[in-house]
Amino acid sequence: MTIAEAVDETPDTRTFRLTFQDPAVAETFAFEAGQFGEYSAFGAGESTFCIASPSTRRGYVECTFKKAGKVTTALSDLNAGDTIGFRGPYGNNFPLDKMEGANLVFVAGGIGLAPVRSVIWTVLDEREKYGDVTIVYGARSVSDLVYKRELEEWAGRADVKLWQTVDPGGETPDWKGEIGFVPTIVEKAAPSADNAFAILCGPPIMIKFTLPVLQKLGFQDSRVYTTLENRMKCGIGKCGRCNIGPVYVCKDGPVFSAEEIARLPQEF
């Protein structure tokens, strides 16, 4: 695919908009929110990222990645006009069909907003199908917030309730959002669990502490969804790397309900 646009989100995080080089694929390529792909920087290798753009917008895919190691560093060095490899879409997706008519609560931490953003835009593109939309998004510091332009756009929308927060100490003098960890802010935002689903992505520690808050607010585990990010290579149920007990995260996931996760061996 061709990098049509490269945006620096934070000092170490970038978003690529990728367009298809093969017109036939551009025409037919479709995916669902929550699915992932394998992205190549030729010479360095492949990396797994969620598809961060909404399934309602065709003809391109977006990914947002953090510079962390070999492949992500090589990818960071690429720019608009360069070619990168893409395999996908792989994995299952967030069950948006089940969520029609319901209120939605999105909770994301750091780069965990990438998969959630795919769902948020998919929902906003078909806004009339869903009830209230509440978003709680937190990052370590103001400079670690990704998708800053979109956060502004959501903040300005009457049909979205957005809570932004940074960890204590991560604020700047002109920061107008919350200060505190994501689970605390979810508690403060206190979205109603009535006819609601929660979608939750972020570092394992955030997930761990947010789940009990959602439970306290009355969310059933079967209506809370998150993604697992076990290390992957093939993405298609062959290489054996992503197993958790009898589950292949690359095929059976990456999206799981909290109920499903509670039944899994704790190996993630």
Ligand X SMILES: Cc1cc2nc3c(=O)[nH]c(=O)nc-3n(C[C@H](O)[C@H](O)[C@H](O)COP(=O)(O)OP(=O)(O)OC[C@H]3O[C@@H](n4cnc5c(N)ncnc54)[C@H](O)[C@@H]3O)c2cc1C
Note the residues at the interface with ligand FES (CB under 6 A): 232-235, 237-242, 248, 250
Residue 71 or 198 with smaller CB distance to another protein: 71
> Within positions 9 to 68, which residues make up the interface with ligand X, using CB under 6 A?
36, 47-50, 64-66, 68
User: What is each CA distance from 59 to 4, 62, 75, in whole angstroms?
Assistant: 11, 10, 21
| 183 interacts with ligand X by CB under 6 A | no
Residue 70 or 208 with smaller CB distance to ligand X: 70
Q: Say if CB 79 and CB 53 are below 8 A apart.
A: no
Residue 130: CB minimum distance to another protein, A: 31
Tokens (6 digits) for 59: 């003809």
C-alpha span between 65 and 71 (Å, rounded): 10
Site string for another protein, 123-162 (x = CB under 8 A): ----------------------------------------
In one-letter notation, the amino acid at residue 80 is A
Chain position carrying tokens 């669902």? 32
Residue 141 or 220 with smaller CB distance to another protein: 141
Of these partners, ligand X, ligand FES, another protein, none, which one is at the site of residue 114 (CB under 5 to 8 Å by kind)?
Answer: ligand X
Would you call 257 helix, strand, or coil by DSSP?
A: strand
Phi, psi of 145 (to 5 degrees): -70, 130
